[in-house]
Amino acid sequence: MRLIEFSAPPPGLFELSARELYRQLDGPALVHVDGERQPPLLVSVLLHGNEPVGWDAVRELVVRRRDNNGRLPRALTVFIGNVTAAREGQRRLDGQPDYNRVWKNAPGPEGELAREVTARLRSAPPFAAVDIHNNTGVNPHYACITRLDPHSLALARMFSRPVVYVRTPDTILAAALAPFTTAVILEAGRPGERRGVEHVIEYLDHCLELESLPQPTPQLPLDLFETVATVRVRGGARFGFAPGGVMDASAPMELQLLEEFEHYNFEELAAGTLFGYVAGRGPLPLEISDVADRDVAGHYVRVEGQELRLARDLVPAMFSPDPAIIRQDVVCYFMERVPHDRA
């Protein structure tokens, strides 16, 4: 696997949809677009092939500016990630690693490419970095940061009032970039939602107009959360969803989650809230780990008969009713509010 780099966009590239990019690209690419100011804004898209909002926003923004015979107010560098998965509309293909989990000491060709991209960007740091994603569940639009510094907070707050401070996984692109540039992650709703594309275009337009990085202002209040635990299905455990929120005792599975739990994303839930059902008395079919990768399941959930309930007050995020996404990634994250004196 080699990194493809273009000093200017190849003709027709921005006319292609995410599923069509394979026609011009056979792998990840850096595409440079000229602008009035340097250094460039870095925008990362399609680290997950089923999340096209970033690419849709970038190509529409560039084409709109070009049609108006205008240059960008700031140069733009676009990193295009998993083109082969995007062709199939999949997060990643079988046999591929997650392209947003290879940015720290990852083995194989994807790890080598991640190190090459990081070194290339470190040698000429961008003005800021924006990594753009879709969600699969019902979530508000929100931004994530990996550092609690004023520039990161302000750049994130430009996108949304909810901002999430993430320390794990530390193998994501934003974490790799944060030591040498201000990096934010945008979560812009589910694929196919037009308002997600429009929101990202508006945000990128604003970023490109900036002459310097913003500072937080009291006029823009923010809801700051921190991810404190990652929830996964235990390897090999059979799972599904409780029909109508009621356990199906005949179902051959160890775990039945509440499908409607996705509507609780970013809601403050009280201890005792029903999360799902477990069958039998075997090992808990969930693995819940903190930012130090310690088993903290007993701290966050409890089993009452066959009911799986929250053991403490918390805020869930990114719960998805898509079994494939749960298998490939996580059930959800558990979050807590960050006190204002830490922000």
Residue 198's domain spans which residues?
4-221
Check: CB of residue 187 under 8 Å from CB of residue 13. no
CATH number at residue 105: 3.40.630.10
With a pLDDT cut of 70, the percent of the chain lying above it is 98
pLDDT per residue as tens digits for the range 67-112: 777 789 999 999 999 999 999 999 999 999 999 999 999 999 999 9
Last residue within a domain, chosen from 221, 244, 272: 221
pLDDT recorded at residue 280: 78
DSSP 8-state code for residue 14: G
User: What angle (nearest 5°) sits at the alpha carbon of residue 318, between those of residues 27 and 90?
Assistant: 30
**pLDDT band per the 50, 70, 90 thresholds, residue 341:** low
Last residue within a domain, chosen from 221, 239, 265: 221
pLDDT per residue as tens digits for the range 25-81: 999 999 999 999 999 999 999 999 999 999 999 999 999 887 777 789 999 999 999
**pLDDT band per the 50, 70, 90 thresholds, residue 262:** very high
**pLDDT band per the 50, 70, 90 thresholds, residue 6:** very high
With a pLDDT cut of 90, the percent of the chain lying above it is 89
pLDDT recorded at residue 342: 63
Spatial neighbors of 292 by CB under 8 A, at least 6 apart, are none
Give the position of tokens 């949809």: 17
Distance CA(121)–CA(153), nearest Å, equals 22
pLDDT recorded at residue 257: 97
Which residue from 148, 136, 161, 144 is spatially nearest to 48, judged by alpha carbons? 136
One domain, residues 243 and 217? no
Helix axes 53-67, 194-209, angle to 10 degrees: 60
pLDDT recorded at residue 71: 86
Confidence check: pLDDT of 143 > 80: yes
One domain, residues 141 and 241? no
pLDDT per residue as tens digits for the range 201-234: 999 999 999 999 998 887 778 999 999 999 999 9
Distance CA(132)–CA(287), nearest Å, equals 27
One domain, residues 204 and 98? yes
Q: Residue 11, SS3?
A: coil
One domain, residues 201 and 313? no
One domain, residues 46 and 148? yes
Check: CB of residue 297 under 8 Å from CB of residue 232. no
DSSP string, 253-304: -SEEE-GGGGGGTT--B-TT-EEEEE-SSSS-SEEEE-TT--B-HHHHEEEE
The predicted model scores a pTM of 0.94
**pLDDT band per the 50, 70, 90 thresholds, residue 343:** low
Last residue within a domain, chosen from 167, 196, 221: 221
One domain, residues 143 and 68? yes
Distance CA(106)–CA(110), nearest Å, equals 7
**pLDDT band per the 50, 70, 90 thresholds, residue 144:** very high
One domain, residues 127 and 213? yes
Q: The tokens of 81 are what? A: 């990630």
Q: How many domains does the chain have?
A: 2
Q: Residue 315, SS3?
A: strand
